[in-house]
Structure 1
Amino acid sequence: MSQTFQLAACAEMLWLDKPRDWRVARLTEMGFGVGLWNWPELDLGKLERIGANYTIMNGYLEGRLADDVGADLLLESARETAQIGKRLGVDRLNLHGTGLGDGGIPIWQHETVTGNMWLKAQDTLNRICDLAEEEGVVFTLENLNLLDHPGCPFGSTADVLALVSAIDRPQLRINLDLYHTQIGEGDLIRWCEKCLPWIGEVQVADNPGRCEPGSGEVNYAAVARALNNMCYRGPVGMEAFAAGDPDDALEAFRSAFTL
């Protein structure tokens, strides 16, 4: 058996009683890449010195895709965040249809996305790609389930795929979060196939509970085999809590994605 995928885990959701730099160092020691959330909460100096492989980080602090004011805020925020990403060597900077508030609730909620909103979102993402090309970074757009994130525009897997494939530029990829896909649509393997040409990262957590693979209903070993068969060799990140001991949760994740 060998580790086919580049495995990473979100430092924000494990060892919650430990400082963030300790968590990053522990993940690195265990051979995992590291996912982060918002940079103002980070001690950048400490994180630089650890020498971790930072695979993904939130790529903005405010803004949204589908209106003029929100787009300008997003671009300004993304440009500032790109500098932090380059400082840490982050591989991908992550976006959503709109900024998320406490508990992941969208700040700007829309139950119906209009044609004009689609056009504006495409324009905004092309501007993001221009920025990314200028700065030498890559952004991803993440799908979100609408039970946990009600009213989030462009949250579904289908909407994210439609936007990223329409833009079709190397500076913008899909952060395919299979936890959200499981809740929103199911049919994980076929969504992986549909999104494959544009995937920048696959993220996983089991359902219910948003804990490590093997703690819920998803057959992640089968998903791993399918990804391998479709020749996906990119990063797989566990963005999940631990059902018990975090070290055990990470080893369960590693086992599910080792073929």
Structure 2
Amino acid sequence: MKQPFTLAACAEMIWRDKPMEWRCGHLTELGFGVGLWNWPDHDLDALERSGATFTIMNGYLEGRLADDEGADTLLRSARETAAVGKRLGVHRLNLHGTGLGDGGIPIAQTDVVTGAMWLKARDTLNRICDLAEEEGVVFTLENLNLLDHPGCPFGTTEDVLALVSAVDRPQLRINLDLYHTQIGEGDLIRWCEKCLPWIGEVQVADNPGRCEPGTGEINYAGVAKALNDMGYRGPVGLEAFAAGDPEKALHAFRSAFTV
């Protein structure tokens, strides 16, 4: 048995009664990288003191892909966040089709995505890549399920793959969230194969419940074997709540992705 992937876990979602610095440090002690959400929620000095390897965090605070005002806001926000990301040594800065509010609900919901919006989104992502090249960082675009995130443009796995492959620049990768893919499309292994050339990170949680592997319907051991067989050697992040004891949840995650 071997561990071909770099494993990380979202610090916001486990040990939720503990200070963030403690969570980051303990994940590091257990051999995991650390994922974050929005950086203004945290004491950056404390995050630096934790000694953690930060694998991913939200790469913007506001903005949208598909209109002029939203794109300009997104670029300003992404530039500010890139500076924080470099300070913390974050490997990937994550984007969505539009800013998300409370409970992950899109701030600006979109019922119909037009051809003009697709072209604008592609243009905005190229501008993001220009920024990333200038700053020496990498952004990812994450798929979201539309049951939990209604009205999110470019949210499906298919849409994210279409945009990232159309831009096709190394500064923009896919954050392939298999929890969202399972709810939205299913067929996880074939989506991994389709997205493989552009994957920057794979994120996982079981469904239903958004807890660790083994608590729901997804055969993550099978997914891990398929990812290994197709040559994926990148990061896998647990973006999940613990169904019970967090350390047992992390053990279940590590076991599922040991092949």
TM-score (norm 2): 1.00
Do the aligned partners of 2:7 and 2:33 also contact (CA within 8 Å) in 1?
A: yes
Note if 1:228 corresponds to 2:243. Answer: no
1:67 CA displacement: 0.2
Unaligned runs of 5+ in 2: none
Query: How far apart, CA to CA, are the structure 1 residues paired with 2:42 and 2:86?
Result: 15
Aligned to 1:102: 102
Check if 1:202 corresponds to 2:202: yes
In structure 1, stretches of 5+ residues that fail to align are none
Q: Partner of 1:22: helix, strand, or coil?
A: helix
Please give the alpha-carbon distance, in whole angstroms, between the structure 2 residues aligned to 1:160 and 1:205. Answer: 19
- Of 169-178 and 44-53, deviating more is 44-53
Structural mapping, 1:36-115, within 5 Å:
36-115=36-115
- Counterpart position of 1:146: 146
Deviations, residues 70-92 of structure 1 (Å, cap 9, x unaligned): 00000000000000000000000
C-alpha separation in 2, matches of 1:181 and 1:4: 22
Question: Counterpart amino acid of 2:186?
Answer: G
The residue type paired with residue 140 of structure 1 is T
Task: State the shift of 1:205 in Å.
Answer: 0.1
Give the Cα separation in 2 of the matches to 1:64 and 1:22.
Answer: 33
Indicate the residue corresponding to 2:162 in structure 1: 162
CA distance in 2 between counterparts of 1:2 and 1:24 reads 25
Q: What residue is the counterpart of 1:125 in the other structure?
A: 125
Partner of 1:243: 243
How far apart, CA to CA, are the structure 2 residues paired with 1:181 and 1:111?
20
Task: Report the CA distance between 1:112 and its aligned residue.
Answer: 1.2
> What's 2:219 paired with?
219
How many residues were matched structurally? 259
Amino acid at match of 2:42: L
**For residues 148 and 111 of structure 2, what CA distance do their matches in structure 1 show?**
14
Report the Cα distance in structure 2 between the residues aligned to 1:108 and 1:140, rounded to whole angstroms: 20
1:173 Cα deviation after fit:
0.1
Residue identity over aligned pairs, in percent, reads 83
1:125 CA displacement: 0.2
**Distance in 2 of aligned mates of 1:181 and 1:112:** 20
Q: Where do 1:4-15 residues align within 5 Å?
A: 4-15=4-15
The answer for the alignment partner of 2:174 in structure 1 is 174
Structure 2 residue matching 1:113: 3-state secondary structure:
coil
After the TM superposition, list the runs of 4 or more consecutive aligned residues in structure 1 that deviate by more than 3 angstroms: none
Q: d(CA) in 1 for partners of 2:48 and 2:253?
A: 26
